[in-house]
């Protein structure tokens, strides 16, 4: 029995979060808008219109290329890729074929050990799960529109037509569906960290085509592959590759070898199966030729090196920094995957220089309240509101305990701390005259406690402090109460 291994490569499409579309000035944010309202003659492919490349999109794509450690090609150009489909009004897509924006990069990612292999306490040796996947190329193109099939009718919405896309093609370096998913998750973090895409899977902003073939372990030859089209979630990517690998293994057993030629299959999510669509098309089928309406792009070397020098710290590096501050692996992972929480954490950390406190405030209290009230991290309070809360606690305006209640109210009402503190009368009482008066009153009303204290029982003073706190509904500053009590005694 020969031992087989899976050879997997991905093509990832990521929508760029630019203000306008790839080749026209239309609004690039069509989410929730009426169909066919963010369109113009250019993205509708009318004859005689001229596309103009979007500078912002090119800069975002360069950012991502450099994050992927790719070489940005000093000269690259757009090509027409011809195919007919009702969501492609011009009958061709403007893409990049033989001279892409960037080539030859590499991504390092962590393969989380399976729960069974991890055993007690999680990961094994620290370097055990580090993997690498080569990047073949990154090129820019425009997205197609969206078709909705209703019975015998198909509806076309061209709002998405012309949205800037990056296509990231990997080397066939992945060996399992787990590796493919771990790599894709890392890629998503990178897209978000360089602000090239929101990479919101739910909105279809990141989509995958996955190619898989088998070969005998120890051999180098790449066999014909099965390309699985249009996978829209990590779950679909994982399920489709697991299914297709098992199917190819069975075929190998039955026929004694790999597929006879490349094929294209579609993933049927509801059935949990792939279905043969066609023999895989090759470049010749698309009749590529250079886009005559757009001059070649000459990349400004200075601009590229400036972008390179300003790249943010990679998500993996950032995670290492969090671990170095004493955060747990799970806490660091939460911050890396949830950008909203990360920016709140960073803001509190910068202000307080106290990772423990930032972690308690954001990762324990805030997440607890968000979960308790059924909210997502996108609905968390703003960075300004969090800073205002920290400032109010540090200035002694409210106690740490009252701070928790304020944070919960911030989550439920969305109001800033100062409004909540004022409305709830939570302001800590630091007014010395007021506290002096209450301490005097407490001493008069608790002669027994004072007597006990004078006999040497220091804990008896708890009754006095307790009385003052009770009279102020817990809003007196405990430090001040103690100091004034000692003075009066």
The site for Zn ion (CB under 5 A) is made up of: 24, 26, 40, 42-43
CB of 139 to Zn ion, least distance (A): 21
- The residue (of 39 and 68) whose beta carbon lies closer to Zn ion is 39
Pairing of β 102-110 and β 164-170: unpaired
Q: What size, in residues, is the chain? A: 489
Q: Which is nearer to Zn ion, 24 or 361 (CB)?
A: 24
Asked if 110 and 182 count as a contact pair (C-beta separation under 8 A), the reply is yes
**Bridge partners, 100 (sequence order):** none
Q: Minimum Å distance from CB 89 to Zn ion? A: 11
269: Cα within 13 Å, side-chain hemisphere: 10
Residue closer to Zn ion by CB (options 110, 141) is: 141
CB of 40 to Zn ion, least distance (A): 3
Do the beta carbons of residue 363 and residue 355 sit within 8 Å? no
Which residue shows structure tokens 């009230």? 373
Q: Minimum distance from CB of 387 to Zn ion (Å)? A: 40
Q: Would you say 26 or 196 has its CB closer to Zn ion?
A: 26
CA-wise closest residue to 96 among 327, 290, 376, 372 = 290
Q: Which of residues 38 and 177 has its CB atom nearest to Zn ion in the complex?
A: 38
Minimal distance, residue 294 CB to Zn ion, in Å? 15
CB of 184 to Zn ion, least distance (A): 30
Between 27 and 298, whose beta carbon lies closer to Zn ion?
27
Integer CA distances (angstroms), 175 to 23, 182, 255, in order? 37, 11, 22
- Cβ–Cβ contacts within 10 Å for residue 102, how many? 27
Nearest to 28 by CA among 162, 141, 200: 162
Question: Other C-beta atoms within 10 Å of 447: how many?
Answer: 9
CA 176 to chain centre: 23
């Amino acid at each position: 029995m020969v031992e087989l291994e899976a050879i997997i490569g991905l093509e990832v499409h990521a929508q760029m979060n630019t203000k306008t579309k790839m080749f026209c000035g239309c609004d690039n944010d069509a989410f929730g808008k009426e169909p066919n309202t963010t369109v113009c003659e250019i993205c509708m492919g009318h004859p005689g219109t001229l596309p103009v490349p979007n500078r912002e999109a090119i800069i975002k794509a360069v950012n991502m290329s450099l994050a992927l450690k790719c070489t940005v090609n000093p000269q690259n150009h757009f090509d027409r890729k011809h195919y007919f489909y009702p969501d492609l009004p011009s009958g061709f897509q403007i893409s990049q074929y033989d001279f892409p924006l960037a080539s030859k990069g590499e991504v390092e990612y962590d393969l989380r050990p399976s729960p069974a292999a991890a055993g007690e306490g999680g990961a094994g040796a620290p370097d055990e799960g580090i993997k690498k996947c080569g990047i073949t190329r990154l090129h820019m193109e425009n997205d197609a529109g969206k078709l909705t099939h209703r019975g015998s009718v198909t509806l076309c919405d061209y709002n998405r037509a012309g949205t800037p896309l990056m296509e990231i093609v990997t080397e066939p370096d992945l060996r399992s569906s787990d590796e493919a998913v771990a790599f894709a998750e890392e890629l998503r973090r990178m897209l978000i960290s360089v602000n090239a895409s929101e990479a919101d899977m739910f909105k279809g902003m990141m989509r995958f085509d996955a190619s898989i073939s088998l070969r005998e372990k120890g051999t180098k030859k790449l066999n014909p592959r099965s390309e699985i089209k249009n996978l829209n979630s990590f779950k679909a990517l994982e399920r489709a590759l697991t299914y297709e690998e098992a199917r190819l293994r069975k075929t190998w057993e039955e026929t004694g070898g790999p597929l006879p030629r490349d094929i294209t299959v579609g993933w049927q999510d509801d059935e949990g199966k792939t279905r043969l669509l066609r023999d895989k098309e090759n470049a010749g089928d698309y009749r590529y030729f250079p886009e005559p309406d757009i001059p070649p792009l000459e990349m400004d070397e200075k601009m590229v090196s400036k972008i390179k020098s300003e790249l943010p710290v990679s998500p993996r590096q950032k995670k290492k920094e969090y671990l170095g501050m004493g955060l747990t692996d799970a806490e660091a992972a939460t911050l890396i995957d949830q950008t909203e929480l990360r920016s709140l954490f960073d803001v509190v950390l910068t202000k307080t220089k106290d990772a423990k406190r930032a972690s308690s405030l954001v990762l324990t209290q805030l997440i607890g309240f968000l979960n308790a009230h059924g909210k997502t991290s996108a609905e968390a309070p703003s960075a300004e509101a969090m800073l205002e809360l920290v400032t109010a606690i540090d200035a002694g305006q409210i106690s740490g305990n009252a701070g928790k209640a304020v944070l919960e109210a911030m989550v439920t009402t969305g109001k800033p701390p100062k409004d909540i503190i004022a409305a709830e009368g939570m302001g800590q009482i630091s007014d010395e005259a007021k506290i002096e008066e209450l301490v005097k009153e407490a001493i008069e009303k608790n002669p027994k406690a004072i007597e006990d204290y004078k006999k040497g029982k220091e804990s008896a003073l708890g009754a006095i402090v307790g009385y003052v706190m009770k009279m102020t509904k817990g809003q007196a500053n405990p430090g001040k109460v103690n100091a004034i009590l000692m003075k009066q005694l």
